[in-house]
């Protein structure tokens, strides 16, 4: 199935049923790993909002939720490499177990910025739960990436919270940018 957003065409990559099943498994693992703790889940806006909502429905343990908003894409389909913090955190994380919830880890620059910022707040632990991971795009290893829904190739994706020029976040499935014969 193909869709069109602005000037780009996209092909179906992951159906919502696959995402739901994997999210359920991630939730089960988090419930086990944090059984005797009260973690703080920190969603990275805007992209993580659908994944965070579905993931938190699978969490049975006591927990708190918070959000931060950072950006390095600025409406394009490639990272600018410049991370700007747009909305800060308003919860005390000292000696707390923190789980950062990401929609996608691409170059890792945004995540490194978030981790560096949160480590200054002296949490007991920090782990990352990301729906998507592009191992081929990571600019350095990030040991805190503990929970991953799907590893994907270095392709531009949209849907299920991920956008292209602000559009497509509302799609329930995830799509990859189509390549024309001249791009291969």
Whether omega before 54 lies within 30 degrees of 0, making that bond cis, reads no
Give the Å distances, CA to CA, from 3 to 50, 159, 166, 173.
20, 11, 15, 11
Residue 8's pLDDT is 93
Give the global pTM. 0.89
Write b or e for each residue in 133-142: b if 16 or more Cβ atoms lie within 10 A of its Cβ, otherwise e: bbeebbeeeb
Q: Whole-angstrom distance between the N-terminal and C-terminal Cα of the chain?
A: 20
Catalytic residues: 106
> Helices (DSSP H) in the chain: which residue ranges?
16-33, 49-56, 109-119
pLDDT of residue 78: 52
Which residues of the chain are under the pLDDT cut of 70?
71-87, 180-184
Strand order in the sheet with 2-5: 2-5, 8-14, 174-177, 157-158
pLDDT given for residue 180 in this prediction: 52
pLDDT on residue 40? 97
**How does pLDDT run across 5-59, given as a tens digit for each residue?**
999 999 999 999 999 999 999 999 999 999 999 999 999 998 999 999 999 999 9
User: In this predicted structure, what is the pLDDT of residue 15?
Assistant: 98
What domains, with CATH codes, occur in the chain?
9-167 (3.40.50.2020)
């Amino acid at each position: 199935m193909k869709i069109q957003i602005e000037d780009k065409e996209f092909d179906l990559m992951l159906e919502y049923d696959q995402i739901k099943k994997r999210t359920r498994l991630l939730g089960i693992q988090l419930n086990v790993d944090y059984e005797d703790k009260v973690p703080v889940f920190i969603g990275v806006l805007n992209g993580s909002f659908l994944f965070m909502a579905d993931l938190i429905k699978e969490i049975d343990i006591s927990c708190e939720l918070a959000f931060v908003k950072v950006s390095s894409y600025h409406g394009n389909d490639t990272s600018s490499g410049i991370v700007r913090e747009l909305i800060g955190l308003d919860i005390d994380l000292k000696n707390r177990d923190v789980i950062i919830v990401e929609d996608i880890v691409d170059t890792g620059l945004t995540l490194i910025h978030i981790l560096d910022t949160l480590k200054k707040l002296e949490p007991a632990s920090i782990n990352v739960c990301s729906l998507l991971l592009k191992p081929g795009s990571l600019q350095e290893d990030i040991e805190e990436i503990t929970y991953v829904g799907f590893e994907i190739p270095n392709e531009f994706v949209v849907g299920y919270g991920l956008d292209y020029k602000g559009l497509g976040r509302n799609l329930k499935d995830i799509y990859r940018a189509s390549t024309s014969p001249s791009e291969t």
